[in-house]
Amino acid sequence: MKNYKFTYYLLVVLLAISTNGMAQEKDSLALKKQYNKLVYEAQKELQNNNFAQSEAKLREAIALNPNNPVAKYNLGTAYYNKKLNNEAQLRFKQAAGIAKNKQDKHKAFHNLGNTFMNQKNYKAAVEAYKNALRNNPKDNQTRYNLALAKKLLEEQQKNNKNNKDNKDNKDKNKDKNKDKNQKDNKDNKDNKDNKDKDKKDGDKKDDKNDKGKDKQDKKEGDKNKDKGKPDDKKGDNKDKKQGDDKKQQQPVPGKLSPQQIKSILQAMNNEEKKIQKKINAKKEKGVKIKTDKDW
């Protein structure tokens, strides 16, 4: 009896598990079917140049099954054809990350390299092509793209170096010219200051000369004035001398010295002689009478 019950319970449990597994498998098949339908319809929309509808269907498929790389890869390709390189890179990286086989990884990395080539990011393109070749070393197209990316990267680095050198030289020359201009400006300022100083010194010298000249003119004017006007001291001495002479010549009233009397008489005698001499001269000369008639 116990064995019977055990067998019954076991059969019931197995039946339940089998039924549940069948339901899950049915749901998975339905999910897969829906996913494939969305991917197929998105591809049709792209062929009809309906990018927006295609993008919407691929996004719906990705939300339905995020672990399937097909919709992500196809959406990346759609972005790539529209030159939306940043969006394409995101989807190709996602597809490469969840791809189950090397072939899918190879295609995702190859197209990822192409998006970097479009952006002239040759260093990133080289790495993407290398990853693609790691998953499929025999793909000649990827090998060619890798060689081209390396060549373009080398030229880019060389140009960047030349541009950097040119920029450094330009900056150096700019700094040199700036220093030269600053020096020239300083020299010009110093020359201007020196000129201003010389002019100021010249003005001071002219003022000094003018003052000296005025002083000299004043001094000479005073000197000439002094020449026209006798010195007070000399005038006083002269006046004093004349006063003394007058004093000596003036007789003292009521009293004459013998010398004074003699001088007076002598003077009177000399005066009389002069008068007599003039009278005699007139008598000798007389008045001449004309004998001839005037016509």
Quick: pLDDT tens for 108-142.
999 999 999 999 999 999 999 999 999 999 999 99
Q: Do 165 and 267 lie in a common domain?
A: yes
Answer yes or no: is pLDDT of 11 > 60: no
Sign, Cα dihedral of 193, 199, 205, 210: negative
Q: What is the pLDDT of residue 218?
A: 57
Sign, Cα dihedral of 213, 214, 215, 221: positive
The whole model's pTM is what?
A: 0.53
Nearest CA to 73 out of 37, 111, 102 is that of 111
CB 152 within 8 A of CB 121: no
Q: Provide the domain count of the chain.
A: 2
Q: Do 52 and 86 lie in a common domain?
A: no
Structure confidence by residue, pLDDT tens digits, 201-223:
666 665 665 555 555 555 555 55
Residue 248 to residue 244: CA distance in whole angstroms: 6
Domain with 113, as residue range(s), is 67-169+258-273
Q: How far is CA 61 from CA 21, 27, 70, 108, 144, in A?
A: 24, 16, 9, 18, 34
User: In the numeric block, which tokens belong to residue 254?
Assistant: 């009521």
Q: Do 262 and 153 lie in a common domain?
A: yes
Average pLDDT over residues 15-25: 51
Q: Which of 169-173, 211-215, 240-244 shows the lowest mean pLDDT across its residues?
A: 240-244
Q: Do 31 and 131 lie in a common domain?
A: no
Establish if 203 belongs to a structural domain. Answer: no
Structure confidence by residue, pLDDT tens digits, 60-105:
999 999 999 999 999 999 999 999 999 999 999 999 999 999 999 9
